[in-house]
Structure 1
Amino acid sequence: MTEQDVQLPRVVLVDDHAIFRAGVRAELDGLVEVVGEAGDVDSAVREVVERTPDVVLLDVHLPGGGGVEILRRLALEAPGAKCLALSVSDDPEDVIAVIRAGARGYVTKTIAPAELADAIRRVQDDDAVFSPRLAGFVLDAFSSGAAAPAAAAASDADLDQLTPREREVLRHIARGYLYKEIAQRLGISVKTVEAHVSAVLRKLQLSTRHELSRWAAERRLVD
């Protein structure tokens, strides 16, 4: 397969500053395909419904209700939409609010273009992606009060199904490591990592790495 054959992620870019949108579009040229733009909640929802992008890149603070309102409406009007928050804010309340509303990740506007393109691809692949210092906010939020008592009680039984190696892989997945990074850290092949992840998903009856990361966070499996 040639580089030209690789399908670029299709993105709708949502930010209320046109100059910032133009800058992001220019920085990501050749890395993603920006298929639509919006500067407020109503136009954002309309663009996502019409364009059906692979990923929605959205700011947190917008006219008409902000990123949380967009996520709430997309859950009803475009339930398959995958959203990545891109914001100047690193306030824990903003981070937790958009993740609880359904965003699959949160990165700050200091991120480098190549790293942002990688984050978009990972969200497209159902990963949960966070800027390093923000991941702790999310893990703390989902591990303190978010897990129901029944889920916490069941977690031991669920974990008993997993081998020690599968538990190691699970914890690395929850921390946001890529397959190749897990392979390097554990001294195994990428294919072996993929096999372990498939086994863990099957045993826990989950479908994606995003669900797996949230499952681990809710059960306090990540330091």
Structure 2
Amino acid sequence: MTDPGTQSAAQNANPPLTIVIVDDHSIFRSGLRSELDPALLVLGEAATVDEAVAVVIATQPRVVLLDVHLPGGIGGGGAEVIRAAAPQAPATLFLALSVSDAADDVVSVIRAGARGYITKSSSGAEVSDAARRVAGGDAVFSPRLAGFVLDAFGAVAGETASTSDELDRLSAREQEVMRLIARGYAYKEVATALFISPKTVETHVSAVLRKLQLSSRHELTAWATARKLL
């Protein structure tokens, strides 16, 4: 018979993997929660971009199971959740879990910072395993989606290296601002999404244009589009 004290000590030495589930369908959230490995500890759920950002920041989970298409925010879906929450939850990792297997969706959320992307056809056991692997430092993708990531990030080595060199001129915050401005968002919308002031957004935009040697938001959008950064 296991000594209760020994069992308690073992649990403390190996704390449970903490999870937040983000999906706008309550039935899916409930079903996924019931199918996850009981050893995973679900700290909370969210149905919208704004709810997700708040829950992630408040609970600081190790892994967020994140749908790609979500209502709320300024239209960025799961990618917007990552951009807004990650700076304030630095130990949290994001695993996209979506019905979509479109290349644009996969690339968008990975560029935002997700550590993997699996489809909703995955079983509870497969999702649990993927969450553990992401928490352990792996990048996890459903088999047919891996090709999208390779194509987007490494197919043309010269182009990738050139874009990387240009992005290295920008700070992490300047890159976040650059992507939102290039998508056509107003300064106030960017400020709301990133929890900074419109004046700070303006300062970052000026720095981005100067570092990239561009003269306008129109040129910035063309630059980002050509490099598939949107």
Aligned Cα root-mean-square deviation (Å): 2.2
Q: Tell me how far apart the structure 2 counterparts of residues 110 and 35 of structure 1 sit (CA, whole Å).
A: 23
Aligned pairs for 1:106-125 within 5 A: 106-125=117-136
Instruction: Give identity over the alignment, percent.
Output: 56
Alignment of 1:100 onto 2:108: no
* Offset at residue 63 of structure 1 (A): 0.4
How many residues get paired? 152
Q: Tell me how far apart the structure 2 counterparts of residues 75 and 28 of structure 1 sit (CA, whole Å).
A: 24
Matched residue type, 2:104: E
Alignment of 1:42 onto 2:42: no
In structure 2, the partner of 1:24 is 32
Q: Under a length normalisation based on structure 2, what TM-score does the superposition of the two structures give?
A: 0.61
Match among 79, 104, 127 for residue 68 of structure 1: 79
- More divergent stretch after superposition (68-77 vs 142-151): 142-151
* Offset at residue 78 of structure 1 (A): 2.2
* Offset at residue 113 of structure 1 (A): 1.1
Q: Under a length normalisation based on structure 1, what TM-score does the superposition of the two structures give?
A: 0.63
Alignment of 1:148 onto 2:152: no
Matched residue type, 2:160: A
Match among 53, 56, 66 for residue 58 of structure 1: 66
Structure 1 alignment gaps of length 5 or more: 153-223
In structure 1, the partner of 2:23 is 15
* Offset at residue 81 of structure 1 (A): 1.9
* Offset at residue 151 of structure 1 (A): 7.5
Measured against aligned partners, the alpha-carbon deviations of 1:75-109 in whole angstroms (never above 9, x if no partner) come to 33323320000000000100000000000000000
Measured against aligned partners, the alpha-carbon deviations of 1:137-196 in whole angstroms (never above 9, x if no partner) come to 1011101356214979xxxxxxxxxxxxxxxxxxxxxxxxxxxxxxxxxxxxxxxxxxxx
* Offset at residue 112 of structure 1 (A): 1.3
Q: Tell me how far apart the structure 2 counterparts of residues 2 and 133 of structure 1 sit (CA, whole Å).
A: 41
Matched residue type, 2:69: H
- 1:57 partner SS: strand
